[in-house]
Amino acid sequence: QQQVKQSPQSLIVQKGGISIINCAYENTAFDYFPWYQQFPGKGPALLIAIRPDVSEKKEGRFTISFNKSAKQFSLHIMDSQPGDSATYFCAASIPPSNTGKLIFGQGTTLQVKP
């Protein structure tokens, strides 16, 4: 119940294309769903996040779509660029009133070809 399942494991997209990464969860106590971007040798950096009372959130080229009934959420990267090549992790958070700890997916390695 604490797991977050992420797919695909790896993704290759042409420059200018749309990258889509999916995640699914079981624990309905999760109330915050961030996406992190990680470059080799670096710590994860917050990209965008959403709460379950919102179905979509957009920040620049990055959009989260959230389906509460299906317990699924996804990251869409529009107009993908070679600089977006990185590993992306979805995560879910136990409420901060409890621990606030993050449960991460397994990660998706994105390669954007020029």
Partner 1 sequence: DTGVSQDPRHKITKRGQNVTFRCDPISEHNRLYWYRQTLGQGPEFLTYFQNEAQLEKSRLLSDRFSAERPKGSFSTLEIQRTEQGDSAMYLCASSVGQGGETQYFGPGTRLLVL
Residue 34 binding partner 1, by CB under 8 A: yes
Which among 106, 82, 107 is positioned nearest to 14, based on CA atoms? Answer: 82
Which one of the spans 11-19, 67-75, 78-86, 97-105 is the region binding partner 1 (CB under 8 A)? 97-105
Which one of the spans 13-21, 39-47, 55-63, 72-80 is the region binding partner 1 (CB under 8 A)? 39-47
Tokens standing for residue 36? 């992190």
- Tell me the closest approach of the beta carbon of residue 67 to partner 1, in angstroms: 20
Interface contacts to partner 1, rule CB under 8 A? 6, 32, 34, 36, 41-46, 49, 89, 91, 93, 96-97, 99-107
